[in-house]
Amino acid sequence: MPHTLTPNYHTNDSPMMALEHPLFADHGIKVWMKRDDLNHPTIQGNKWHKLKHNLEAAKAAGKSTLLTFGGAYSNHITATAAAGQTFGFQTIGYIRGDELAGRPERWSHTLHTAQQNGMQLHFLSRSDYRLKTQSDFLDTLSAKHPEAYILPEGGTNQAAIQGFQTLSQTIESQCQSWTHLFTAVGTGGTLAGLVKFATPNPQRHILGVASLKQADYLIPGIESLSGVSYNAAHSPNWRLLTEYCGPGYGQTAPDIEAARHWFESQFHIPLDSVYTNKMVYGFLQELQSGRLPSGSKVVLYHSGGLQGNPKT
């Protein structure tokens, strides 16, 4: 049976670190980074917030297995495998890309880590993977795996969104005067959770930096999950920034890599190449283009994902 869900850490222990640099001073802004990459060594960053209520629901339902979906670079896949190992669930991952089946030499570090943590990996063609939200497909999986609690891609559902209430309260207590909050965006759940639970203030802006191309399709889902319309005037404004994803999901470009090397050399804070690198790149581009006015107080949310970096 699954273990009691009593982790030996607290998410509000992750620090809010001030980032001081002449570039920021020259633009008249102050910058902090919320270091949720430090909230747990394996169930890292935003993934703990997404998983905690879902783990409780799986336990309450008497399920012994967590089943979910993701791509080859999915932090959610790695975090679900780690959560299963930590709390006594079996884990199953349905992975996009049947060309990876039987070819572990082509797997990402993410997939190797998930397998090492006990996850059974099943590879789907891209056409079959697109069925992951269809009721018939999910009914078939439920029949095949009756012991499984099924989590959506990225872990994004209403239970996941609820998990960001504590994070939002912690950010508020650590930096009450913030005006801009940047986060990376994959499926949109983290952005939706931060928008939903932010203290209402029309002077605030929550900015999600998409990690995949043509991400505008995420906007209706984020609106639905957060309950806040796009650019709503009565609450923190939020935007999805789609121009900083480079060649696409899991891919980078020289200017994005240059931003990462600059940031890591200046502040000695590691970034992951899929999500937080593009978030920082988007922030720097917004700053240099003049979209962050003097006097802004900016929080960069480090959502973890470092386990996805190749080990050297």
Residue 308's pLDDT band (boundaries 50, 70, 90)? low
Instruction: With a cut of 70, say whether residue 231 has pLDDT above it.
Output: yes
Cβ neighbourhood burial of 162 (10 Å; 0-12, 13-18, 19+): middle
Give how far the C-alpha of residue 73 lies from the chain's centroid of Cα atoms, to the nearest Å. 12
- Tokens (6 digits) for 266: 């200046």
CA-only gyration radius of the chain, Å:
19
**pLDDT (0 to 100) of residue 310:** 66
Structural contact between residues 110 and 72, judged by C-beta atoms closer than 8 angstroms: yes
**pLDDT (0 to 100) of residue 69:** 97
**pLDDT (0 to 100) of residue 9:** 38
Q: Across the strands, what pairs with 95?
A: 70, 123
pLDDT tens sequence across 200-225: 888 899 999 999 999 999 999 999 99
Give how far the C-alpha of residue 213 lies from the chain's centroid of Cα atoms, to the nearest Å. 16
pLDDT tens sequence across 236-293: 799 999 999 999 988 999 999 999 999 999 999 999 988 999 999 999 999 999 999 9
**pLDDT (0 to 100) of residue 236:** 76
Residue 3's pLDDT band (boundaries 50, 70, 90)? very low
Count Cβ atoms below 10 Å from residue 258 Cβ, excluding itself.
12
Residue 6's pLDDT band (boundaries 50, 70, 90)? very low
Average pLDDT over residues 109-120: 95
| Portion of the chain with pLDDT greater than 90, in percent | 83
**pLDDT (0 to 100) of residue 128:** 96
Instruction: With a cut of 60, say whether residue 8 has pLDDT above it.
Output: no
Average pLDDT of the chain, as a whole number:
92
Determine if the pTM surpasses 0.85: yes
Average pLDDT over residues 103-107: 95
Instruction: With a cut of 60, say whether residue 150 has pLDDT above it.
Output: yes
pLDDT tens sequence across 122-146: 999 999 999 999 999 999 999 999 9
**pLDDT (0 to 100) of residue 12:** 45
**pLDDT (0 to 100) of residue 233:** 65
What does each C-alpha distance from 20 to 17, 106, 159, 189, 252 come to in angstroms? 10, 40, 36, 30, 26
- Tokens (6 digits) for 17: 């670190």
Instruction: With a cut of 80, say whether residue 71 has pLDDT above it.
Output: yes
Residue 311's pLDDT band (boundaries 50, 70, 90)? low
Count Cβ atoms below 10 Å from residue 213 Cβ, excluding itself.
12
**Taking Cα atoms as reference points, which of 11, 32, 18 lies closest to residue 300?**
32
